[in-house]
Amino acid sequence: MAELNKAEAAEPADETPNVSEVDAVDAATETEAVAAIEASVERGEPILQVRNLVKHFPLTQGILFKRQIGAVKAVDGISFDLHQGETLGIVGESGCGKSTVAKLLMMLEQATAGEIFYKGQDITKLSGRALKAVRRNIQMVFQDPYTSLNPRMTVGDIIGEPFEIHPEAAPKGSRRQKVQDLLDVVGLNPEYINRYPHQFSGGQRQRIGIARGLALNPEIIICDEPVSALDVSVQAQVINLMEKLQDEFNLSYLFIAHDLSIVRHISDRVGVMYLGKMAEIGSDQSIYDHPTHPYTQALLSAVPVPDPEAREGRERIILTGDVPSPANPPSGCRFRTRCWKAQDKCAQEEPLLAVPERFKSSDSPVAHESACHFAEEKDVVHAA
């Protein structure tokens, strides 16, 4: 267990430069990068900075002579920061690009444009050894615990596989012990090391997925709908485990989900995505109690509240229609086709993600970034 604990987990991160990190990276080839990382950590900057991230998937026509006839604009200019030890929740409907963001951050997809700074270093420009070194620190937990574990590998092989790729993380002789420690950390019996995934239930499998994500002592874990495939009574167990691990290892989470109540529970800040854009971003309190973007208001008011007393008095905003195709998004504000406030300005001018002018001087949580021309506060959660 002591081995697992990172050096910096014990002390505040911004005081000591990332010692174990620096050791792990092949120092001879990466001196420059290391210097940049050290500098950025000393300044107390966000661990991850995303700037104008864009991902377009080309649509092609023709078999022999493929030509591009358009693009699915899955992610179209997204910016956010992630700080050490923080949880950033990303919510949005299916097709809004939240999973693509996860893949871009993992460098599983090459971004069309934009930058992702990990401790001041743009990882979209990296390749080879340098990229491999960065990847060690950004790990992922997938949505479906049934398909994200190889059925032909034992649990020990699954959790130990990261060590094969990054042999410097654990010497060969100690790997079995490390895997057993990891199983213990996520609340599974270390004796299960030789079992296969099918011998476990959904919740236990998700714990295996989390153990695999933790194996390399990452600093950032990207969780793409980690509990949505689980039963209600098991969801709470996994959420508690993730919170415990965050405290223990000082992890930063990017938590992608569509269940708004769970996102609120676990997140420090929340970003709302719509059709490849960030509609609104702010602290959990400002998003849930003081939403200013009409889409956020509609989304929050549509969530069924597990309290029958609330059903009569609650004002619900029911959106009409479906999300437009990201291959051909509406001009101007992307939400305008479903928005009840839409005016001519919304079709012509794209609203930028910024703190609305009228709230700038306000100290209350209402002053947060919102991409709407007509941002207005409306409390939809507590409305009676």
Partner 1 sequence: MTSMEIKTGSAPSSRSGGDDSGALLDVRDLHVEFHTRDGVVKAVNGVNYNVSSGETLAVLGESGSGKSVTAQAIMGIVDMPPGKIPQGEILFRGQDMLKMSNEERRKIRGSKIAMIFQDALSSLNPVLSVGYQLGEMFRVHEGMSRKQAKAKAVELMERVKIPAAKDRVNDFPHQFSGGMRQRIMIAMALALEPDLIIADEPTTALDVTVQAQVMDLLAELQQEYNMGLILITHDLGVVADVADKIAVMYAGRIVETAPVHELYKRPAHPYTRGLLDSIPRLDQKGQELYAIKGLPPNLLHVPSGCPFNPRCPKAQDICRTEVPPLVPVTEQDGTDLPGRGSACHFWEETIHG
Indicate whether 305 belongs to the interface with partner 1 (CB under 8 A).
yes
Indicate whether 306 belongs to the interface with partner 1 (CB under 8 A).
yes
Pick 136 or 336: Cβ nearer partner 1: 336
Nearest distance from C-beta of residue 53 to partner 1, angstroms: 23
- For tokens 């600093």, the residue is 219
Structure tokens at 324: 């437009």
Task: Report the residue from 233, 344, 361, 384 that binds partner 1 according to the rule CB under 8 A.
Answer: 233
Task: Report the residue from 265, 341, 373, 378 that binds partner 1 according to the rule CB under 8 A.
Answer: 265
Task: Report the residue from 83, 258, 341, 378 that binds partner 1 according to the rule CB under 8 A.
Answer: 258
Indicate whether 232 belongs to the interface with partner 1 (CB under 8 A).
yes
The 3-state DSSP class for residue 116 equals strand
Indicate whether 237 belongs to the interface with partner 1 (CB under 8 A).
yes
Indicate whether 106 belongs to the interface with partner 1 (CB under 8 A).
no
Indicate whether 94 belongs to the interface with partner 1 (CB under 8 A).
yes
Q: Describe the strand order of the beta sheet including 87-91 as a list of residue ranges.
A: 138-141, 220-224, 252-256, 87-91, 269-274, 277-283, 369-370
Q: Which of 257, 161, 259, 266 is nearest to 209 (CA)?
A: 161
Indicate whether 83 belongs to the interface with partner 1 (CB under 8 A).
no
User: DSSP string covering 138-206, please?
Assistant: EEEE-S-TTTSS-TTS-HHHHHHHHHHHSGGGS-GGGHHHHHHHHHHHTT--GGGGG--GGGS-HHHHH
- CB within 8 Å of 53: residues ≥ 6 apart: 75, 77, 78, 79, 101, 104, 111, 113, 114, 115, 116
Indicate whether 383 belongs to the interface with partner 1 (CB under 8 A).
no
- For tokens 């460098």, the residue is 107
Nearest distance from C-beta of residue 231 to partner 1, angstroms: 4
Indicate whether 22 belongs to the interface with partner 1 (CB under 8 A).
no
Nearest distance from C-beta of residue 62 to partner 1, angstroms: 22
Pick 112 or 204: Cβ nearer partner 1: 204
In the complex, the residues that contact partner 1 under the rule CB under 8 A are 93-94, 201, 203-204, 231-237, 239-240, 243, 258, 260-262, 264-265, 284, 298-299, 302-311, 316, 318-323
